[in-house]
């Protein structure tokens, strides 16, 4: 049986699967079969009796990946794998905290805030403290809190050197107090609370160290510092950590991912083995040669070279357009040709872009051409407005002290509870130090608004009593009925889809009940609410219609397609202009381009435009440096507007470069100011400026002429486009 398990593996894959009991780094290139290696390694350990399912912990980055791993294992092993500890960092931490909630100082039925819920909680906090949400935008406060938690910091660990940061730290502390009071945790808190629990509780830590003798980690390059520390804490001296990743595909630095974790792994985990999986089973040779040549421009790589036995395949097609409209026309025509002449399904064609802002023209052209398309990464099921409302009612059934859920539905559907009544209730709640529910129950607000609050409290209390002991699906159905959500949307014009989604929530609850029969998993309403929060963003609803896939390059990670179009390959777009001011920014952008290239199996198109409409202005751009870093022998110019020529990138710009072989050179030359190039009003790229609202920033770009000049300025609160005519900027 062991030999049948290993059959079909290439030598490097087999070496990884059959490693002895020691920590190792598996450097798995794109399309090299890493999921097969991971699952086969687990099956091999169990099949050869080196470990029981009880001794294995496997960490993935998506619930989809975890479910796929369990499905594969179930087919490979004659055992029930449903109770194994295989899941995401957040999912595994949730499971551990549920088991040890008292030690973690949490209520047994604590609820999880997704990103939207967390932002709503921060808005409530700012309002209760009379904080100006323009000076302290909720999203910025949220990012400050999450980035510090993901670095392992509490508010008390931080120090401030200016009043602005001092207030952020105070808000961080107040937010944590609010969450503790309400019995809720955000995603970053799940991991931090779990890490703190294991850090201070030696008996608990040793229990899990003794239990999990084999720890396997997928997508190791995407781990942040806290996740890395959590793994290091959980892995005892006798544990073998099997880390699978690709430093060349580390593209989530903006989320806190630290590619340096892969380099530190060898030292911290005493890993003597690095196995490189370089045989690619996805793409043809020209595509891989382009990817290899591009990524070699990056420094501090662990190093690998993808290859395939499938032959060189088609050359990579490059198209230079005069404008973004012409670029979109070309893409639409090629998509239709692929579908009509080569029989390629639209769903097996992807159109990638660096920024969502690029999609408007593309969508418009596709719509006019009658080409069905789907924007991948749109609003997911559990993130839809009507579902969020229904979940808020369910959260109140589970925990009446959940102020965020209370505020979301206290007047939805409308029941005559106005903003003034809510403000009075919040004031009374804050003064008494109790939840909104407790304040409303105690009659803290009088008058008609107070009576409406009492009716709402009574509604929830009755629903809570009526649903005791009901199966989960019936519970959800009952709450949907008494909340009148379905009735409200049925009475609203054009809301039939929302009604269908609410009915689907009942099906989701029924499916959850069937699938949750797992060891050590929490069942019932609390489990379903945790499931909804953890799954938000994982599953995308689709009509089943064959449709072209549109998405950002970030969203394409982990996917593959027969044909891929990478559009907008211009300096300032891809690589993005925000990367110009960061020492590692261009390397991250190059890794992103590497990911884009390696999504293609058979056909790859790279397109760019000489001019593009952005922010209401025509922007002239230079072709991306990444085009220049690709080997010329794998490229083929298509259409009448572009052909490759010998050229090189230097600090002064392009020498020769990609030039049209047909356009008139009377057209205006592309313009992009270099550092210290004046733009208008005495300002130049790279200059520090001061703004009354946003503070000190640096000029990183410009567009327009005369009175229409706008400057792109990077401030501490984010990057802004400001009109020079109205912004009142001063040199700093």
From the candidates 18, 35, 454, 617, give the one annotated as an active-site residue: 35
- The answer to whether residues 245 and 222 touch, using CB atoms and an 8 Å cutoff, is yes
From the candidates 12, 34, 229, 317, give the one annotated as an active-site residue: 34
Among 671, 570, 669, residue whose Cα is nearest residue 627: 570
Strand, coil or helix: what is 464? helix
Active site residue 219: yes
Distance CA 529, CA 596 (A): 35
- The answer to whether residues 223 and 256 touch, using CB atoms and an 8 Å cutoff, is no
Distance CA 502, CA 496 (A): 10
Distance CA 174, CA 155 (A): 9
From the candidates 114, 176, 219, 570, give the one annotated as an active-site residue: 219
From the candidates 249, 358, 426, 610, give the one annotated as an active-site residue: 249
Q: Helices H, strands E: what count in the chain? A: 27, 26
Instruction: Spell out a b/e string for 151-184, using b for 16 or more CB atoms within 10 Å of the CB, else e.
Output: bbbebeebeeeeeeeebbbebbebbbebbeebbb
Among 2, 59, 29, 63, residue whose Cα is nearest residue 536: 63
How far CA 160 is from CA of 81, 126, 152, 164, 169, in Å, comes to: 49, 20, 17, 8, 8
- The answer to whether residues 511 and 539 touch, using CB atoms and an 8 Å cutoff, is no
Distance CA 109, CA 515 (A): 20
How far CA 108 is from CA of 79, 98, 121, 201, 465, in Å, comes to: 31, 7, 21, 19, 19
- The answer to whether residues 680 and 698 touch, using CB atoms and an 8 Å cutoff, is no
Strands 349-353 and 111-113: unpaired
From the candidates 41, 408, 498, 599, give the one annotated as an active-site residue: 599
- The answer to whether residues 4 and 17 touch, using CB atoms and an 8 Å cutoff, is no
Strands 648-650 and 653-655: antiparallel
Distance CA 424, CA 330 (A): 59
User: Which residues, listed in sequence order, are joined to residue 386 by a DSSP beta bridge?
Assistant: none
- The answer to whether residues 274 and 27 touch, using CB atoms and an 8 Å cutoff, is yes
From the candidates 117, 176, 189, 218, give the one annotated as an active-site residue: 218
Strand, coil or helix: what is 241? strand
Cis peptide before 413 (omega within 30 of 0): yes
Active site residue 35: yes
Structure tokens at 158: 């931080």
Structure tokens at 88: 């995401």
Distance CA 54, CA 83 (A): 9
Distance CA 636, CA 313 (A): 12
User: Which residues, listed in sequence order, are joined to residue 723 by a DSSP beta bridge?
Assistant: 710
DSSP secondary structure of 102-166? TTTT--TT-EEE-HHHHHHHHHHHHHHTT--TTTS-HHHHHHHHHHHHHTT--GGG---SSHHHH
Distance CA 697, CA 657 (A): 33
In this structure, the dihedral spanned by the alpha carbons of residues 505, 509, 515 and 517, taken in order and rounded to 10 degrees, is 160
- Burial (CB < 10 A; 0-12, 13-18, 19+), residue 433, is exposed
Active site residue 34: yes
User: Which residues, listed in sequence order, are joined to residue 112 by a DSSP beta bridge?
Assistant: 185
- The answer to whether residues 576 and 538 touch, using CB atoms and an 8 Å cutoff, is no
Distance CA 606, CA 602 (A): 14
- Burial (CB < 10 A; 0-12, 13-18, 19+), residue 50, is middle
Residues recognised as catalytic: 34-35, 218-219, 249, 599
């Amino acid at each position: 049986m062991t030999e049948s398990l290993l059959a079909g593996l290439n030598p490097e894959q087999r070496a990884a699967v059959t490693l002895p009991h020691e920590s190792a780094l598996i450097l798995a290139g794109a399309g090299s079969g890493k999921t097969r290696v991971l699952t086969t390694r687990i099956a091999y350990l169990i099949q050869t009796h080196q470990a029981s399912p009880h001794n294995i912990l496997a960490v993935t980055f998506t619930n989809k990946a975890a479910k796929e791993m369990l499905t594969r294992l179930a087919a490979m092993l004659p055992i029930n794998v449903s109770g194994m500890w295989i899941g995401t960092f957040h999912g595994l931490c949730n499971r551990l905290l549920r088991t040890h909630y008292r030690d973690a100082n949490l209520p047994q039925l604590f609820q999880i805030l997704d990103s939207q819920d967390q932002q709503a909680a921060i808005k409530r906090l700012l309002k209760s403290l009379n904080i100006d949400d323009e000076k302290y935008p909720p999203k910025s406060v949220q990012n400050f809190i999450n980035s510090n938690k993901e670095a392992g910091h509490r508010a008390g660990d931080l120090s401030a050197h200016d009043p602005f940061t001092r207030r952020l730290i105070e808000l961080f502390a107040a937010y944590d107090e609010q969450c503790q009071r309400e019995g809720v945790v955000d995603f970053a808190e799940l991991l931090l609370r779990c890490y703190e629990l294991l850090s201070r509780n030696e008996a608990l830590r040793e229990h899990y160290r003794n239990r999990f003798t084999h720890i396997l980690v997928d997508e190791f390059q995407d781990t942040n510092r806290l996740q890395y520390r959590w793994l290091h804490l959980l892995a005892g001296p006798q544990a073998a950590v099997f880390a699978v990743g690709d430093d060349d595909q580390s593209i989530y630095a903006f989320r806190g991912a630290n590619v340096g974790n892969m380099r530190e792994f060898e030292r911290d985990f005493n890993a003597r083995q690095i196995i490189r999986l370089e045989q690619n089973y996805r793409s043809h040779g020209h595509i891989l040669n382009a990817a290899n040549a591009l990524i070699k421009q990056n420094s501090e790589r662990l190093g690998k070279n993808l290859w395939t036995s499938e032959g060189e395949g088609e050359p990579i097609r490059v198209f230079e357009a005069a404008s973004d409209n012409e670029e979109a026309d070309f893409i639409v025509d090629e998509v239709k040709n692929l579908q009509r002449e080569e029989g390629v399904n639209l769903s097996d064609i992807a159109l990638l872009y660096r920024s969502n802002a690029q999609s408007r023209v593309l969508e418009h052209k596709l719509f006019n051409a009658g080409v069905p398309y789907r924007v991948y990464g749109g609003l997911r099921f559990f993130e839809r407005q009507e579902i969020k409302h229904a979940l808020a009612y369910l959260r109140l059934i589970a925990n009446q002290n959940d102020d965020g859920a209370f505020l979301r539905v206290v007047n939805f559907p409308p029941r005559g509870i106005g903003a003034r009544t809510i403000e009075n209730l919040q004031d009374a709640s804050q003064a008494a130090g109790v939840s909104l529910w407790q304040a409303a129950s105690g009659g803290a607000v009088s008058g008609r608004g107070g009576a409406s609050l009492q009716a709402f409290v009574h509604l929830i209390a009755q629903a809570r009593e009526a649903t005791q002991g009901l199966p989960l699906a019936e519970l959800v159905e009952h709450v949907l009925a008494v909340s009148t959500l379905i009735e409200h949307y049925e009475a609203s014009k054009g809301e039939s889809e929302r009604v269908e989604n609410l009915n689907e929530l009942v099906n989701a609850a029924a499916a959850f009940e069937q699938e949750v029969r797992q060891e050590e998993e929490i069942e019932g309403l609390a489990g379903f609410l945790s499931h909804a929060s953890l799954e938000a963003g994982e599953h995308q609803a689709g009509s089943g219609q064959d449709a072209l896939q549109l998405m950002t390059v970030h969203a394409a990670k982990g996917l593959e397609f027969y044909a891929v179009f990478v559009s907008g390959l211009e300096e300032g777009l891809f690589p993005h202009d925000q990367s110009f001011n960061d020492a590692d920014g261009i390397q991250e952008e190059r890794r992103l381009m590497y990911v884009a290239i390696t999504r293609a199996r058979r056909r790859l198109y790279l397109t760019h435009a000489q001019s593009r409409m952005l922010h209401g202005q025509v922007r002239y751009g230079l072709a991306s440096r990444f085009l220049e870093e690709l080997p010329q022998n794998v490229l083929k110019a298509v259409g009448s507007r572009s052909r490759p020529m010998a050229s090189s990138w230097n600090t002064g710009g392009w020498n020769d470069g990609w030039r049209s072989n047909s356009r008139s050179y009377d057209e205006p030359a592309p313009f992009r100011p270099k550092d210290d190039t004046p733009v208008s009003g005495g300002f130049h790229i790279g200059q520090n400026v001061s703004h009354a609202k946003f503070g000190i920033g640096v000029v990183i770009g410009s567009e327009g002429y005369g009175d229409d000049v706008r400057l792109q300025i990077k401030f501490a609160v984010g990057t802004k486009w400001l009109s020079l005519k109205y912004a009142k900027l001063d040199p700093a």
